[in-house]
Every structure is written in structure tokens, then in C-alpha cells.
Structure 1
Amino acid sequence: MLGAWRAAPGLRLRARFGAACGRPRSAASEADSRQPAEDSRQDSQYRDTVLLPHSRFPAQLPGRLQPDAELETQQILKDITNRFHMMRGYKVHYVPGWDCHGLPIELKALSEVKGAEKLSPVEIRQKAREFAERAIEKQKASFIRWGIMADWANCYRTFDPKYEANQLRIFHKMYDKGFIYQDYKPVFWSPSAKTALAEAELEYNEQHVSRSVYVKFPLLKSPPKLASVIDGSSPTSVLVWTTQPWTVPANQAVCYMPDSEYSVVKCATTGEHFILAADRVESTAAVLDTQFEVVSTCKGVDLADGSYAHPTIPGRVSPLLPANHVTMTKGTGLVHTAPAHGMEDYSVASHHQLPTDCLVDESGYFTEAAGPELKNKNVLEEGNEAVIRMLQAAGSLLKEEKYVHSYPYDWRAKKPMIIRASKQWFVNTANVKAAAQEALKKVKIIPGSAMSRMLEMLDRRTFWCISRQRCWGVPIPVFYQKDTGESLINSETITDVIKIVEQQGTDAWWTLPVEQLLSKGAVAKAGGRDVLDYVKGQDVLDIWFDSGTSWAHVLEGRPVTRNANAVTGECQIESFLVSENPWTLVVHGFTLGEKGEKMSKSIGNVVDPDVVINGGEDHTKDPPYGADVLRWWVAESNVFTEVLIGPVVLNAARDDINKLRNTLRFMLGNMAGFNPETDSIPPSEMYIVDQYMLHLLQNYGSKVTEAYKEYDYSKVVRLLQVFCSRNLSSFYFSIIKDRLYCEEEKDPKRRSCQTVLAEALDVVVRSFAPILPHLAEEVFQHLPYKKDSEGVFRTGWINASSGWKKPGIEEAIEGACAMRDSFLGSISGKNALEYEVIIVIEPGLLFELMEALQAEESSRVSQLNEIMMASQTTLVNEIPKETPADANIVRGNFLINLEGGDIREESSYKVIALPTAKAKCPRCRRYTSDSSSTPCPRCLKVIAGKGST
């Protein structure tokens, strides 16, 4: 019969009713309740004959001991991805590094210095470097403690001269190709930091409150197509709405949407006429607490060639212009346009050759050009108030109200930004967009959804501002003519600077005089006369340019292999534009507080990894979890989106690891006296359920490996938890305890399941080793059969034999499991060992499968009875005649699919549970003895030393 079962390689069985094999049921607790080690009534005379599990591996470590235990197992450690690839036999060289430049470090360093505003650029750079060096050493120690394996002796720092020189070489190459240019245009500007910022350095305050105003701009010249409607008998104005009144002095135009409808209305309150979008007439009238009478309606294009008077600057006449960025969702459908303070405004000005003068300085104050009433006033504070008063005095202000909306803030200073035109250096992303998008499509990006986000960002990004107005960074190697401000930069000037930086670092830009940085030959080549006619530029490169050029330093002298990887937080498109394309790009999210809030030191909700690992000053408030809990949390989280961390999450992670430890402890405890090299049983000689577990183990190993390859560590955790809790603990462990504890030590039946436990332990430990390196090493230290081992990370990846995969084997076990579920369900809450079970199956394939597990009609020691966990199992085709009339008969069906469904056979079965007449064996606690004072036949043989014969 077993041969017939083996001849069906494509066999697939599924129970139409009942649980899948391995579902947690009462079986585990029933098995536990009968075991000698767990039964206080066990006769002492037989206790020493039972092979109880024994291991010094603790089921769990108290929090205070976890960090110390991890330190004992630490040698060289590594992150999850690198550990996985290394265990698979790849050569992995992870060079860690630090982005050391940038505003955060500069501001933090200066906050520790009294009178910082008086420091020279060189002194500021020195303070920032010292701060960065201290932070690096602290972070390096933390990373090592967290279990990150890396080439810690050869880290890179972006302030190293060689790194800075390579960065300037990339700048040079991009400049030569025409990708980098200088221009005067509006950029995001941080008045608090006095520098331009990239979009990636912004965060949006959804509760920002602006002082929005409705303003009328008096019409001077009527649009020709509206001349018959606007006869001049009453004043007519274009009506605009803005949330930034301070930009009105810089107004150069009012824009309309050409294809939209506009209305000329008469105000019921004042009798004057206004022009605004037809869709905004009713809502605007309601805001102004008046009524509008529609005099005429026209298309936006009919507003062409009209002009108006500036509301605060006498004599300034500005045009009405078409623009596609005008929307009808709010405001009046007419947009106040200040070219120096808006990206779309600047585009309109460029197209129509309008002035783009900026009236705001680097600190966010109005300049002298704004006029005496505004000079030296902060545009976001008193300057805004002054403009509103000017509008009111001119009779142009119709309404002021508070407006709550999303507004960009400096992500470091947590203060509002402005858009301000200034002379900056840019990467022309428009020219490289198509090529970058094509290159991006060849990159493997995880998760796949990040691809569309990055392509979208590339599509809408026409330039990237790479200049910053600070001194802690890599300088942009440009010189300016003192009188004209004309820039001097070419291959010769950049090459000269690179040579100096490679020897002295970028401090030389601030310490050396211009004549040592700029050669006479370079000046003459550019048509200049004297080196002293030039000054050094004061801008530094954006820190994303720093990080984006790391490959040029780390991979210097090494070919970029197909296995090169990059891991980055969200979509840092700037870094991608500078770097060579990685073959795999993993995009992860950021960490949030347990309630989903952003972490902020000012709020006080920052979770310090060192406190998580080692505990805080008060262990009752901040207990020590150890590094593995932190690593488990990282792996378990869906890192492709924002992840949450806090006490609840960390406690759950610790509990998960403790459950895993119990599973590991059971396997370790049952390995005493077993050596896999000499005592293993070949799969062909194993119990079928043991072969089934190897089959599942091979499948588990394959799925885990694939999940690691896809960087899906949360899937790895899920696979691990399901396999350990359902397949091992709830199912396999519960049915093999009798074999492990009560068979003779070297009995092949016991060695069979020990072989499986050894293989399962090895596969499971290797599968989680990249995530829990300390636990993996701890397990290897407690293996009773491996001495002086090199450890889990030097002995390879999962070695699950393909020979373990046996199509059809799971059907035999799952069929038995379905019947076991029916049996257990019929005696719910009772001990299965107190019952005998009769299984009735019509002749056919299902019966043959069960015969493979039990050849004789009735048995107390068969493989089928082990799975059923009953006192005795009887397998028949018909219900025995002596079956009591009132016996509870449970019916079920099995649908059998062969060869992918080409052959289908539905089999029915009946399960009958009857109380056993046998007594409980005082040794094995199974109801298989003729007397409660005498061991069962099996136990008597073991006691007599005949169990293996």
C-alpha cells in the first residue's frame, strides 16, 4: 500500500471540512498533560527511565541580563542583508560611512559655543568637525552594539580630503557636460538658517495659519474685448486673493486661466465693478459679506491686453497675463504674481520678460528697495502687518481673515520657509530627465511602488538647487569678478582646486588666499587680467550631493558588480541623479512614535536605540530589551512605509522572541546523546510524519531564502513564526514527545524524530540568524554535538536537501490530521489518550494512504495512532458490528486532486471515539496498560533494555 502511495507524485489532498494540519488544537495540551516530566503523580520508580529534555539554554533571559549575554556572543557583526548574502557564500564588503557636512551639524555645534555669531568660517568649520567626530565615534560604537557587521576599520567620512576631492571631480564632470549651471531664480529659502533648501529638507505644517487677504487691483486699461462692458462710468478692479500679503510689493502681473469663464460683477454694497472667475462669484461674495450682480460673462482669453495699477506702488502699471497654473478651487480665479516669490510666477515672468527683483534679504527682511515703510521689517511678522496696513490705507483691502493650510517649514529649525529669488547653482534635471528615467527603469527597486514615485518626481522636477549659503561643507569651486560679479569656473580652475583639496582638504578654500587657489593662467584663459580682481565664492554644495557621490569614493578602484546595492530612506532623487545606478535600490520609510507621530527632540518622543538595548536610568520605565529585540522589530515592520516604535511594540517583539526561544529550547533539550553525523536516520527509513516534516522544512527554507532576496524581512518573520508555532510546536512536538521521552535512547524510531529536530534546528537558526545574530550564536553555543564551532555565520546558509521534497507526502499526513481534528472535536475538552478511535474509510486512495501509516487493522503504536494521539486506532472499511448503537459518529469528506486536477476523487470517512478499557501506564502515561500498577508492554521492553530489538 505504501508503494501505491509513493507512486502518486502529483497527489494533492484537501479536506473539504476541518482544519489544516498543524492548526493549534487541544492536542498539544493533552500531550503535555500526560508527560512524565509534567505529571506530579509520576511514579518515582520509573522517572529515571524516561528520557526527559535537558539543556542549559534558557527559555528567556531577564531584561537586565539580555544586553550582557549579547555582548558575550558578539564578535564581528553585520546587518541583515549582508549577513544573509555572506551566509550564502558571497563576498560582502560593507563600508560604512557618515555624511558629516550640512546645516544640522553646523547649528548643533554652534549651539554649544557662546558668541558663535562672531566666529570666522574657519572657526565654525573647526567646531562643526569636532562635533561630527564625537558623534561618529558614539554612533560607530552604537552600530557595533546593535549587531551591524561592517569594515569598521575603513569607514569613510565626507569631510575626508580624498572624499571631498572625489566629490569635486563629480561636480567637474557634471559641469563639463552642461548639467550644472548658475541662475537667478526663486528657491525655497529658510530665513532662520539664511540658506536655500531642497524640497527633501522641508516638512509641511498642516496647521499653519496665514493672514489671507482679498485685494482689488484697479483696472487702468480695459481688455479690448470688454470695452463695451466696462465703460468707465464706475471703477473696475481685478479681484485677487493671497495668503502671503508680504509678496504684494513684488507684484508684476495678475494671471488668469485662458479657458475658464470670468464674470464682470457689480458690488451691491459699493456699486463698483470687479472681475473674477465665474465659478468663484458666489463664494467670494459670501466671504466679503455682500452680493454680486453679474453684469457680463466672458472667457479668460478675453482679458488679454488689460492692465492695472499696483495697489501700493504709485505709477506702476502691470499686465493681465494667461497662465495654466491658475486654479478655480479657491480664491478668485485670478492670481497675484510675484516672480521673485513663486516658481510658477517666475515661469510667467520669464516668458513675458517681466522683472524678477527680490525685495527680501537672506534673513527674511525687506530691503531698502522695498521702500522706507517696509525696510528692515521681517516679511513673516511685522513686514506682513505693514503691507496689510498699506493696502488698507490705499483702499485696496477688501477682507482679511485667518487661513489654516499646509505650509513648508525648515525641517530642522521648525520655522516657516519663504520662496525667494537669488543667484544659485543648479543641476539641470530637465536635460537629463529622459535618460534618468530610462536608467531608473533598469534598476530593481523594492518596493515596486517606489518606482512610480521616483519617476513622478523626476518628471515634475526641472532643476535641483545644489548651492547652500553656509561654510560647513564642500565649497562650490567658483570665483567671482569683484566689479561685475561675473563667475569664473572652467576645467583648469576646478582641476587646480581639486589638487589642493586632495592634499589639504576643503579648509584650504577658506584659509588660502585667492592667488594660491586661482592661477594666473586660468585667469588669462578666461580673458581676465589679474588674479586679485577675483574673490572666492562662499556657497557650499547641498549635502545630498555629498551623499550622492559616496560611490565615487567607496568603489574607487573596484568594479561595480551586479550585486551592488543601495538602501535609502524614501525617495532621495537628488542622490540618484549624482550617483551611478545601483543594481538594486531598497526604499524604506521613516520611524514614527507609537501613535504615528513624528519623532522630535522638542516634543520629547524620540526613542533612543541605546536606551532600548541597555535600558534607561529607570528600568521600570525604560527596561533593557537587548539588540535582538530592536533588530526583530526592524525586520518585523513593513519598512517600506513609516514604522511605529514604542513600549507596546517592543514588548510584543520581546514576547515573540521568547516564544521562539521556547521552541529552540525544546529542540536543544531533546538532542542529548545524539550526534547527527553518526546517529541520523536516512529519510527513506523514517516515520512518514518525520519525512513530512523534512518536506515542510525544505519548503520553508526555500520561501525564507526568496523573502531575503526580495528584502522582505517582515515576510521572513511571518514564515518563521508560522513554521515554529504551527508546524513545530503545535503539531510535531506534541505528537513525538512519547517517542522522545519513552522509547529506548537509541531506538530508530526515536533517532528518526531526533534527526528531524536536528535538521529543523539547523534550518530555523540559520533562517533567523541575519535578523537575530546574538540568539543564533547563543543557540550554536548550546548545541550538544558541536564543539569549537566557527559559529553560525561562518558555516553557510540553509542546507535543506532537495531530496526532502516529496510530492504527495503531505496528503497522507494532512488526511490523518483532518481525521484527527474530527476526533478531537468529538471529545472536546477531554484527554484523547482516554479514547480509542475507529476510522472508517471506503476502499480507495484515501484508505491506501492511511494504510501507509498503519498496516494492521488496530494498533496502539502505529504512525497513524501517534498522529491521532489516541489510546488505540482502528482502520477499517466498515463500521464494526460491535460498535455501540449510541456511539458518536463524525462524518467528513476529502476531495483528492491528482496530477493538477486531471484526476479527482472524493472520499468520505467516519470517525468514532470510544472510551478505552485500558489502564494508564505508570511510566508513559498512555492508556495502554492492563493495570495501572504495571507498565505497558512497550515500556516494559524499554525498561528491560529490549526496546531496540
Structure 2
Amino acid sequence: MSAMCGLLLHGARSCTSSRRCHGTGSGEVNGQPAENGSGNALYRDSVLLPKTEFPMKLTGQKLLDRELQIQQECGFADLYSWQRERKAKNKFCLHDGPPYANGDPHVGHALNKILKDIRNRFEMLRGRQVHYIPGWDCHGLPIELKALGDLGTSGLSPLQIRQKAREFAEGAIARQKAAFQRWGVMADWDQCYYTFDGTYEAAQLKVFQEMHSKGLIYQDYKPVFWSPSSGTALAEAELEYNPEHVSRAVYATFPLVTLPPKIASQEGMESVSVLVWTTQPWTIPANQAVCYMPNAQYSVVKRADNSEKFLVATERTASILFLHLFPLLGSLLEGGICKHPTIPDKQVPLLPANHVTMVKGTGLVHTAPAHGMEDYSVASQFKLPVECMVDEDGTFNELAGPELQKLSVMTEGNDKVISMLKQCNALLKEEQCVHSYPYDWRTKQPVVIRPSKQWFINTESLKDKAKEALQKVRVLPESARSSLLTMLDRRTYWCISRQRSWGVPIPVFYHKESGEALINKYTVSHIAQLFKEKGSDCWWELPIETLLPPEVLKKSKAGAASDYVRGEDVLDIWFDSGASWAAVLEAESDSRADVYVEGKDQIGGWFQSSLLTSVAVRNKAPYKSLVVHGFAVSEKGEKMSKSVGNVVDPDVVINGGKPAYGADVLRWWVAESNVFSDVQIGPSALSSARDSISKLRNTLKFLLGNLQGFDPRLQAVDPKQMHYIDQYMLHLLREYSIKVTDAYSEFDAGRVIRVLQAFITRELSSFYFSIIKDRLYCDAEDSLGRRSCQTVLEEILDGVTRSIAPILPHMAEEVYLHAPGHDKEETLFKSGWIKSSSVWRRPGLEEAVEGACAIRDSFLSSIPGKNAARYDLTVAIEPGLLFELMESLQEEPTSTTSQLAELMMAARVNLATKMPRDLDPEALLNHGTFLINLEGGVIREESAYSIAVTPTSAARCPRCRRYTANSADCLCPRCQSIVSQAH
């Protein structure tokens, strides 16, 4: 070897690869290809073929039994506790958003829990101490309804309702927990959090109390989303909007009885009616004003068929056929008064408002403060009455008058109001309008807006702080950030009281005579302590004197306990779960989670309620990062539903399907998916996942088989003594491990799988495995060349197994049980992450191997479809860097056993500085160049090379089947030496 090559391959200079070798050759990794097999029984026993007890396939019940056996043998149940007790410099906290305890585990749970577990297992393998406490959201109406079933609430006390709801929730939790454990999710399953635990409820009340003391929680009478089907107020996060809702929209007239002073003298203003459009005619009896936009242009128009005149926004006149009379500016309408269309003697003012738009309708908005959020804002500004004409069951009350009382506002009440408008000649036009309308997300029934005395959080005053806190949060995908900000903007206040029994009671007392609320830091702290000790059932169980003891009353400067009654409302479950940071994270030093990981529906739900409560109390977000994933959908991209029959049950996927796939297939499906969009699942996705795991298993079996009898602790070869291609593979393995580590860190398990499959297909199966089989099978068992190869195979096996472990923990531990180099009782998950070394990246190494690969590509393309082993190859390179590098792979001018000959997979390789004169005239010629790029471009040299390919004259060796023997009946020199030593 020249001095230059010695410097390159043994010195300390850095190098930059100029190309990646993709290689070609046999993709077979298990067993022995025909060209490398032993056709002669005489020598078969001397060939070292792969041997391992690791099974090629596991299917059906055997697969299921093996996964459960692995969980047992490898201590899956104790792993979380073990890693919590070990010393670790760094911590990783993934705070579990609590799934709802109202049903069986479904594929959405699988997507979420497995995604979290992949990251947790990765962080644990890296040596971090993982903080992950699974939780359940246990309160709320759906659980209450399901628990009571056909019984309903009639005749049951709050405590009886709560008992049934708790039992139902506990059953759902048990089923979900068992499924999560079967999927291999790492946690201490005896230490979970539940929103119905007294300690949790006490921590929640502490958050409530701190927000109340800051003036952020208040009681008020104002419009809320009200669900007649549930009989309770709802928060924005409990709504789902039905884009196909059909309303009977009307154009109604409000005659001007007092003209606006600024245009009172305008000719043609007599007998003008203001024209409004609404999709909710039932709200017209509650009208208190008509709003206009001050800076918009309006017109007085006349119907084409009669003399009726109307006031309409100029921009909206095209939607109905009118004759224009004259224009006027909106600000001139100030002071105008209209006659109410259905209530005799009632008059309503024209008022300016910023919420008026020109998108639909007439540019003049019917305003019923009791039944609209913006309408209520107008009422607050102009001191209009807020009269509620709708009862809790969604029917008109006595304020609406005898004609309407007891009619359901959304159906016959709506019809009746429209017929009243007709009778009064106040109905210009009626039309069907398909639009988005809020529904109760539980009952799937439309909601109404009605005023009610409720408890609210003033989110308006928290919004700016929350937005500021979000700026410091990393969001994956980044596109979800705008949705979070939009949701925050939409929420001016958050209604947190619910008229139910199954929840955390709002700790408030009301004075029997005045109705005034008693709530302060003394009362709430006392109730929180009681909840911590006894659970929130005590709100109903204990006498009022225990809930309001003398010392608390004294500090509160209140009267006697007997003067008060306890409140009957419970807290919104989004407040329950939103306070989880206080109950679960506060013990952590930073008290913020590294990450929250939930589906996109939580953008308006848990992500937001957690942010608002944390910002309110601590002025910071409860999370450093947010990961927002999509939903699981059918293979047609449709939402799963029982009625359609396209639901994929994870239990059937694992245990009961034909075939039974086991947990690792379900985990691979999650990992392989692009979780940042909706994720499809069905027979083809699961079958594809199973096939991918099967191919991976094949590769791992090949690696294990060739490590039979090898102990890396005793027989590993130092990298400096290895064949260059072996050293090169260590370099590629290091690159692979860096890519995989980066992908896991980005929550991109899909990229991990793509990198893994590319590494196995390109670098291993098509390139390295096809080249080394002869050395592995036919060299002497303890030879340096074979041990060099085994050392690398063991590193590859170890690196690949660890890299897939977060995704396929069952298979990874199974491989580890068969792998050499560690004590029998040791498990993979207790032994760390991929151990790649920077020592493996040696200067000049890439150029030597990749230069040879460039020549190899030229060689293989010269003999398309033919077997390289049947040919001799002559390589001619002018003196220079490339020649020196090739000389490091083959020091003698001609060889059948050099590293260069192995790389080329040829019978013989001749290396020279120029082509020989006596070259066979039939030789196949080819040319190429290779760019050497060292030290970041300081050394650059483009070298030309020529090759000549001729059929070999050598005979095929009966043992190794390479064309390196002198005659057909004798062994090649290498095999002769090995066989004679054996005997």
C-alpha cells in the first residue's frame, strides 16, 4: 500500500463522500444462493451455513402465545417502574390526555396510545427517565346517560346516579386498560390518574379557586349554547357543527314608525319597512332591535309588483328583485324606530353594530339578545332587556304568549312564528337554507342559544396571554398552530357549569333568601380538603354544617350554615381534564410536559382547556410541544361507523381476525402511517404491515443464523483490522442510526420505517449480504476475514433490532433472546439505544469502497443478465489517488481472494495502471470516472478508469462454487487449505 493510502485510511483527516454505493446483486438473505451453495455432499459439512432457532414465521395462536410469553419473560409490566428508579441525567415527560371512560377500546385509542408509546420507549432506550402516567376522563353526560340506560334520572337521587355512573366508568376503564397493556404500552398500570379520584378533584378545585380569586371565574345570566336533548348548558368544545342542517329562512318586515332624524325630511321615506333575514324565525318574538353597519351603503327600494318600500343594504339588493329609489349611508339610520312584526304596540330601535356583514341576508340584522352571542353584546352596550322565552326543554314559555307556549322552538314553534308573520303581512319571502349549525356532540341533536344563570371563565382577558404562551410552544405539524389560534379567538367566554349530577360539584353556596352566592378562598379550600379525604360524593352526603363549618363562615363574614343551600351544578368535563397538569405534573421540577400528543379534535378541546387553565394560574403553557395527529378512517377514507359496518376493532385485529395479526402488526400500522393526516386502516393496510414485518424477520433470521457460535465479547475484530467493506458497513450503520434517531425525535416513526427498509434492501440485501456470503460460508470458521464479517453482522443485528424496538417491542425482545453477546437474563429495553461509534467513520474509507463500487457498477452493466462469478475483470487506472485506493483493496496485480475481488464478485481481478497489450480481442470494454472529494473539497481529484471483462478459464470449485479451481474435480487453493486443516 502506498504512503498516500496509508495516510488516508489510517490517518485522522476528515472526508466527504462523493457518492453512495447502491450496489446490485442477489436480494436473497436467507439460505444459500445456488452459486454459493455446496453441490457436493463430500464437502457439505465443511460449509458454514446459517443456523438459528429463531423461527422464520410466527402465525395464528403461536404468534399470540409468543407475544404474551415475551411480555411475561421480558418484564413488560415492570419496565416503567424500573426506568423510574434508575439514575438519569435527563427526563422526558409525555402527559397523557385522558381518553373518555364511556366505551370499549377502539382503533383511535390504538393510534394515540401506540404513537405515544413509540416515543416513550425510544426516550427510555436513550437513557432518559420517562414520566408517563395514563389517565381517564371519567365524568360527564355520556357516561351518565349510558349508565342509567332506560331508567332515566326519574326518582333517582344524585348519589344513586353517581354510583351507577362510577360503576359504568370503572368497567370501561378496565376494558381499555387491558387493551392498552396487550398493545405493549409501557406504564405503571397500577398508578394511573382518574378525574373521579378525590385527590385529583382537590387539585382541580385548587385551580378553580385560584382562577376565581383572580376574578376570572364569575356567575352571570347570559346566552349560552343549550342542549334541550341533554338538558344542560354546553361549551364550544362540546359542539359539533352539522354542515347539512336545513332551516326555514325568512325575509321579515319591520315597519319604520319613527324615521331616523337625519333623513326624516327625505322625500320617499314614508311607509318604508326595514327588511331582515333570519334562519331562526322562532327568535323573532324575542326581538329587541334591528342592527345596521354604520359605514355601509343602504338603499330604499320598491317591489316591482306593488308599491311596498323597503330599506336594504345596497350590496344585498341583487339577491331579491327590487327597483332602486335612492341610496343613503348607514350612519344616517341612527335614531330610527321600527314596529315589532308580531307583538302589537312593541317598538324596537335601529342600532349600529360591528357584527353586521354583507355575506348573506339584507345587511340589517334582527337582534334577539336572549338568543345570540353578538345580539347579547349589543344588548349590553345599549341596555336592552334580555328576556328568555325558551325553557330548558327547548319549548316556548309563558313570556312568548299563549299562542306559542309549550311549542318546541325548533319545530312546531318555528312553524307557528312563520304563520304569525304571514297573518301580520310581515313575511316577504320564505326559503330553505342549508347551512352549518351547532349540534350537541353527544346526542347529535341541534342546540339553541338561550340565556341562563351559569358560571363562566372570562377567556377574553386570558386570550392574549394564551397566544403569547403558544408562541413558545413547538407545534407538529406547524399548520395546526393557526387552528389553535382561531379556536382561541372564537371563545370570548367559557361556560363551565353543567346541570348534571355526575361531575365535580362547583363549590358554591347560595343564600336562601337573597340567592347571593357564597364562594371564596376559605370555602373552596375547605371543600377541596374534604374532596381529597372523602371524594366529591361528600358534597351530597355531608350536612351543610360540615361543608360550611363555623371557622370558614367566620373568615367568610357570612351568617349561619343553615342560611345557605349547596349549589347543584357540576363543572364542565373540559375543566376537569384541562386541570390535569395541576394533578399530574405539578410534582415534576419544571411542572410542564415536554409534549402533549392527541388527535386534531383536541385543538378546540383538551389542548385549549389545558392552556387556558395553566396560563390563568401560572402564566405559562403546560406543554413545551404539541403533536396533533389525524383520525383513523376506513380504507375508503370514510369515518368509521357501526351503521356502515366499516369499524376496525383492534381486539379483532390482534386476536380474532383471519388471520390473527398480533400487537406488533397494529404497532407497525401506526408507525408506518402519516399520523399528521387521517390514517387509513383495513385488510390491505394490515396485510401490508404483516408482510413488511415478515421481510424484516427474514433479514433478522439471516443475521442470527450467521452469528451461530460467535461471541462478540471474545471474538470481535478491531475495526482497524477489518476488511474495508466491513469497516464501510459500520460507517453506513452509524449513518443509519443517526437518521433513525432524528426521525424518532421528530415523532416521525414513518420515516424510521422508510430508512430501515431502504437500509435493509439497498445496503444489506442487495449489496453487503450478496458480497460476503462466500467469506461467511466458505472461509475458515475462526479466520480473521470471517470474524471481521461476523463482528459487523452482530453490530448490524444489534443496531437494527434496537432501532425497531420502540415500534416492535415484542419482536425486538424475541430477537434479543436469540442474539449473542449478552447475559441470558438481560432484556433489550434495559440495555440502551444503538451503540454506534464515531471511530467507525474513517477518512478515505468511503472513497476506497465507493470507488470500487463505481467500477463494480461498470463491470456489472457490461455483463447484463450474466453471472459476475464466471468472469475475470481487468481494471486499469492511471497512477493517482484512485489507483492507490484500489491498491489498498488488492496489493498484488492479480488475485482471486482479494477484497477487491470479493467486492466485484468476479472470478479474478487484475489491477494495473494501464491495459495489458495481450488483452483478449473478445474482451468487453467499458470506461468511467470517479470523483474523490476529501477534507470538505480541499482535495478533489476526478480519476478515469477502464475495465476489460473476459470469461474466466478457471473451473468451478466443488466446495465454494466459485470459478477459482484449476480443474473441475479439484478444490480451489482456498478451499483445499481449509479442508486439509479440518482433517
- The one of 205, 217, 222 equivalent to 1:185 is 222
1: distance between equivalents of 2:308 and 2:922? 99
Q: Please, which moves more after superposition, 808-817 or 467-476? A: 808-817
Contact in 2 for aligned 1:93/1:150 (Cα 8 Å)? no
2: distance between equivalents of 1:27 and 1:816? 18
1: distance between equivalents of 2:274 and 2:895? 98
State the TM-score, normalized to the length of structure 2: 0.89
Q: Which residue of 1 is the match for residue 773 of structure 2? A: 737
Q: Which residue of 1 is the match for residue 651 of structure 2? A: 610
User: Structure 1: which amino acid aligns with 2:197?
Assistant: D
1:533-572 superposed matches below 5 A: 533-555=563-585, 557-560=587-590, 564-570=594-600, 571=603, 572=607
Q: State the aligned residue count.
A: 927
Q: Which residue of 2 is the match for residue 495 of structure 1? A: 525
1:75-90 superposed matches below 5 A: 75-77=75-77, 79-90=117-128
Q: Which residue of 2 is the match for residue 598 of structure 1? A: 639
Q: Is residue 2:572 matched to residue 1:573?
A: no
Q: Is residue 2:177 matched to residue 1:140?
A: yes
Percent pairwise identity = 57
User: Structure 2: which amino acid aligns with 1:185?
Assistant: K
Q: Please, which moves more after superposition, 457-466 or 725-734? A: 457-466
- The one of 486, 494, 517 equivalent to 2:547 is 517
Offset of 1:492 from its aligned partner? 2.4
Q: Which residue of 1 is the match for residue 415 of structure 2? A: 385
Contact in 1 for aligned 2:145/2:152 (Cα 8 Å)? no
1: distance between equivalents of 2:700 and 2:920? 45
- The one of 356, 360, 370 equivalent to 1:326 is 356
Q: Is residue 2:345 matched to residue 1:315?
A: yes
Contact in 1 for aligned 2:581/2:592 (Cα 8 Å)? no
Q: Which residue of 2 is the match for residue 117 of structure 1? A: 154
Contact in 2 for aligned 1:202/1:409 (Cα 8 Å)? yes
Contact in 1 for aligned 2:300/2:326 (Cα 8 Å)? yes
Q: Please, which moves more after superposition, 170-179 or 719-728? A: 719-728
- The one of 75, 91, 104 equivalent to 2:129 is 91
Contact in 1 for aligned 2:591/2:622 (Cα 8 Å)? no
1:817/1:27 Cα in 2 relative to 1: closer, same or farther (>3 Å)?
A: farther
Q: Is residue 2:92 matched to residue 1:65?
A: no
Q: Is residue 2:433 matched to residue 1:400?
A: no
- The one of 895, 901, 909 equivalent to 2:945 is 909
1:152-301 superposed matches below 5 A: 152-229=189-266, 231-233=268-270, 235-282=271-318, 284-285=319-320, 291-301=321-331
1: distance between equivalents of 2:926 and 2:236? 67
Contact in 2 for aligned 1:34/1:925 (Cα 8 Å)? no
1:59/1:315 Cα in 2 relative to 1: closer, same or farther (>3 Å)?
A: farther
1:603-642 superposed matches below 5 A: 603-615=644-656, 619-620=657-658, 623-642=659-678
2: distance between equivalents of 1:385 and 1:913? 92
Offset of 1:784 from its aligned partner? 4.4
Offset of 1:882 from its aligned partner? 3.5
Offset of 1:523 from its aligned partner? 5.4
Contact in 1 for aligned 2:956/2:965 (Cα 8 Å)? yes
1:172/1:876 Cα in 2 relative to 1: closer, same or farther (>3 Å)?
A: same
Q: Is residue 2:110 matched to residue 1:106?
A: no
2: distance between equivalents of 1:114 and 1:653? 45
Q: Deviations over 1:887-924 (max 9, x none)?
A: 44333333333332344433333344332222322222
Contact in 2 for aligned 1:211/1:244 (Cα 8 Å)? yes
Contact in 1 for aligned 2:957/2:963 (Cα 8 Å)? yes
Contact in 1 for aligned 2:671/2:753 (Cα 8 Å)? yes
2: distance between equivalents of 1:525 and 1:946? 96
1: distance between equivalents of 2:538 and 2:532? 10
1:771/1:702 Cα in 2 relative to 1: closer, same or farther (>3 Å)?
A: same
Give the superposed CA RMSD: 2.6
1: distance between equivalents of 2:543 and 2:794? 72
1: distance between equivalents of 2:642 and 2:917? 79
Contact in 1 for aligned 2:353/2:378 (Cα 8 Å)? yes
- The one of 754, 771, 782 equivalent to 1:718 is 754
In structure 1, stretches of 5+ residues that fail to align are: 286-290
| SS class of match (1:400) | strand
Contact in 1 for aligned 2:712/2:820 (Cα 8 Å)? no
Offset of 1:424 from its aligned partner? 1.6
2: distance between equivalents of 1:634 and 1:795? 25
1:304/1:900 Cα in 2 relative to 1: closer, same or farther (>3 Å)?
A: farther
1:854-873 superposed matches below 5 A: 854-873=890-909
State the TM-score, normalized to the length of structure 1: 0.92
Offset of 1:575 from its aligned partner? 1.6
| SS class of match (1:758) | helix
1:177/1:916 Cα in 2 relative to 1: closer, same or farther (>3 Å)?
A: same
Q: Which residue of 2 is the match for residue 5 of structure 1? A: 8
User: Structure 1: which amino acid aligns with 2:157?
Assistant: S
Q: Deviations over 1:279-315 (max 9, x none)?
A: 2222x12xxxxx3222122332232222222222222
Offset of 1:638 from its aligned partner? 2.8
Q: Please, which moves more after superposition, 239-248 or 128-137? A: 239-248
1:353/1:30 Cα in 2 relative to 1: closer, same or farther (>3 Å)?
A: closer
1: distance between equivalents of 2:780 and 2:551? 93
1: distance between equivalents of 2:916 and 2:29? 27
Offset of 1:601 from its aligned partner? 4.1
User: Structure 2: which amino acid aligns with 1:664?
Assistant: L
Offset of 1:846 from its aligned partner? 2.5
1:205/1:837 Cα in 2 relative to 1: closer, same or farther (>3 Å)?
A: farther
User: Structure 1: which amino acid aligns with 2:378?
Assistant: V
2: distance between equivalents of 1:389 and 1:533? 49
| SS class of match (1:855) | coil
1:914/1:500 Cα in 2 relative to 1: closer, same or farther (>3 Å)?
A: same
1: distance between equivalents of 2:593 and 2:246? 49
Q: Which residue of 1 is the match for residue 441 of structure 2? A: 411
Q: Which residue of 1 is the match for residue 729 of structure 2? A: 693
| SS class of match (1:153) | coil
- The one of 583, 586, 589 equivalent to 2:629 is 589
Q: Which residue of 1 is the match for residue 27 of structure 2? A: 28
Q: Which residue of 2 is the match for residue 462 of structure 1? A: 492
1:309/1:798 Cα in 2 relative to 1: closer, same or farther (>3 Å)?
A: same
Contact in 1 for aligned 2:922/2:950 (Cα 8 Å)? no
- The one of 26, 42, 45 equivalent to 1:45 is 42
Q: Deviations over 1:341-371 (max 9, x none)?
A: 2222222222222222222222222222122
Contact in 1 for aligned 2:294/2:330 (Cα 8 Å)? yes
User: Structure 2: which amino acid aligns with 1:671?
Assistant: L
User: Structure 2: which amino acid aligns with 1:206?
Assistant: P
User: Structure 2: which amino acid aligns with 1:207?
Assistant: E
1:322-471 superposed matches below 5 A: 322-471=352-501
1:245/1:917 Cα in 2 relative to 1: closer, same or farther (>3 Å)?
A: farther
Contact in 1 for aligned 2:253/2:274 (Cα 8 Å)? yes
Contact in 2 for aligned 1:30/1:832 (Cα 8 Å)? no
Offset of 1:255 from its aligned partner? 2.2
In structure 2, stretches of 5+ residues that fail to align are: 81-116
Offset of 1:167 from its aligned partner? 1.4
User: Structure 1: which amino acid aligns with 2:633?
Assistant: G
Q: Please, which moves more after superposition, 144-153 or 573-582? A: 573-582
Q: Deviations over 1:36-88 (max 9, x none)?
A: 67x6x822222211111111212231144322110000022562233222222
2: distance between equivalents of 1:891 and 1:333? 79
1:117/1:30 Cα in 2 relative to 1: closer, same or farther (>3 Å)?
A: closer
Q: Which residue of 2 is the match for residue 751 of structure 1? A: 787
Contact in 1 for aligned 2:370/2:450 (Cα 8 Å)? yes
Contact in 2 for aligned 1:850/1:864 (Cα 8 Å)? yes
2: distance between equivalents of 1:503 and 1:33? 69
